[in-house]
Amino acid sequence: MIGPSSIFVFCLVSTAIVSGQVRHDLTAKPQTIPLWENGAPGAQGQGDNDKPTLTIYLPWQSNLSGTSVIVAPGGGYEMLADNHEGRQVANWFNAMGVTAFVLKYRLGPRYHHPIELGDAQRAIRLVRSRAKEFEVSPDRIGMMGFSAGGHLASTAATPLSAHLIEANVLPAVVMRAAHAGPAFIKQPLFNTVQGYDSYVVPASTGLIVHQLLIIAICLVMGTWIERGGWAVAPRGRLSVCAFGGMILAFWLLAWCAILFWVGFVFWFHDLPRAGNLGAAIAVGALYGLAIAALGVSLGCWMADRERAFQVVGAVSIPMLFLSGFAFPIESIPEPVVWVSFLLPSTHGIQALLKFNQMGATWLETAPQIIRLLIVTAAYLGLAWWMASRRATGSDWRNGESAASAHRIL
């Protein structure tokens, strides 16, 4: 009995014959050719599984576009699903006028990478070299796959594999190189120089030094205020010289910490460093002075040892983003960016990164240096005003004594 499907196939064949577009007998067995005539490189035997091949499926009608596709069936690199992921897919391409080549590549556990990759590369090279014979375009050859075959197709499509194909590098050469030892290529996702090692870690250390030193200075200031007497102002009067000595002491501590991190620590962990060492040391000194001035100002404002941990610790994460290295500064609202300019960490971190990691010149870092100078001068003035008021035991906010205003926030 003749069913609807038989009538459809008969009409399709009859129409193609009348139009003169039938290329071959639809019932004929597709031609299978070996990838290598004299045996595949790296073959461990002469069996069928040791001989990679291409099975050619010609289109049912003329291939006017010259397009061809190499199909790599899946199977977890241990078997080939060459029917539903090979022949059926090839027939589907044939129906659209596309020539298909089903690849039989070598499998495990007998064969491992890069043998499969070499088979895929050889298949592409073979189709391209015999493009005229197959009546396809050498520049319109595609490759697709399923499961492991998809992985193989994507691997063959990488720039490295493409260069190997163009340069006619033999898979045996690739195999020997693989046996000699893998070559690891570090390609950072966010920073194309050295990723986190060259940018995020050094920037984070700049913020860590800033926050730890601010807390330490606030602890000292809070202790003096809670005791009701300052070591640098024994009579309740803070002279300019005493204030300068206090700032210089805090500055020296901050500067040594910066030099320890950007010098010894970076050397010990082999992080990028010393791009412009002299400038990095100089800007570290300026950054340390800004930290000392801000620490004294905050210590006088909070007047509480424990409060420093609460406030300074809570703002560390926002400062991380406001510094412009953990989050693109272009994506931060402009009013928030202006607020970040009030923080020494924003300018100090960026300047240290440019000098120490990137080897920038003074001219290239001029914006950060100028802003850091302005911020340092402003906090020095604020620190003098607040410290001179606090040292006398008065509360500069409401005029009461420090004893009656022990808690501030």
Q: Is there a single domain that holds both residue 125 and residue 273?
A: no
pLDDT of residue 285: 93
Q: Is the pLDDT of residue 112 over 70?
A: yes
Q: Is there a single domain that holds both residue 119 and residue 234?
A: no
pLDDT of residue 20: 42
- Tokens 């069996």 sit at which residue? 47
291 close to 344: Cβ distance less than 8 angstroms: yes
Q: Is there a single domain that holds both residue 262 and residue 302?
A: yes
| Tally of domains in the chain | 2
Q: Note whether residue 5 is domain-resident.
A: no
Q: Note whether residue 369 is domain-resident.
A: yes
Q: Quickly state the pLDDT bin for 164 (edges 50, 70, 90).
A: low
Q: Is there a single domain that holds both residue 202 and residue 173?
A: no
Q: Is the pLDDT of residue 149 over 80?
A: yes
Q: What is the pLDDT of residues 345-376, one digit of tens each?
A: 888 888 888 888 778 888 888 989 999 999 99
Q: Is there a single domain that holds both residue 231 and residue 327?
A: yes
C-alpha to C-alpha distance for 82 and 147, rounded to whole angstroms: 12
Q: Is there a single domain that holds both residue 156 and residue 213?
A: no
Q: Note whether residue 1 is domain-resident.
A: no
* CATH code, domain carrying 98: 3.40.50.1820
User: Is this structure's pTM higher than 0.75?
Assistant: no
Across the chain, what does the average pLDDT equal? 78
Q: Note whether residue 223 is domain-resident.
A: yes
pLDDT of residue 235: 72
Q: What is the pLDDT of residues 208-217, one digit of tens each?
A: 888 889 999 9
Q: Is the pLDDT of residue 146 over 50?
A: yes
Q: Is there a single domain that holds both residue 291 and residue 372?
A: yes
Average of pLDDT values for 283-293? 93
pLDDT of residue 275: 80
Q: Quickly state the pLDDT bin for 160 (edges 50, 70, 90).
A: low
pLDDT of residue 184: 52
Q: Is there a single domain that holds both residue 112 and residue 164?
A: yes
Q: What is the pLDDT of residues 231-283, one digit of tens each?
A: 787 776 788 888 899 999 999 999 999 889 888 888 887 777 778 888 889 99
Q: Is there a single domain that holds both residue 339 and residue 237?
A: yes
Structural domain span for residue 201: 195-391
C-alpha to C-alpha distance for 111 and 124, rounded to whole angstroms: 20
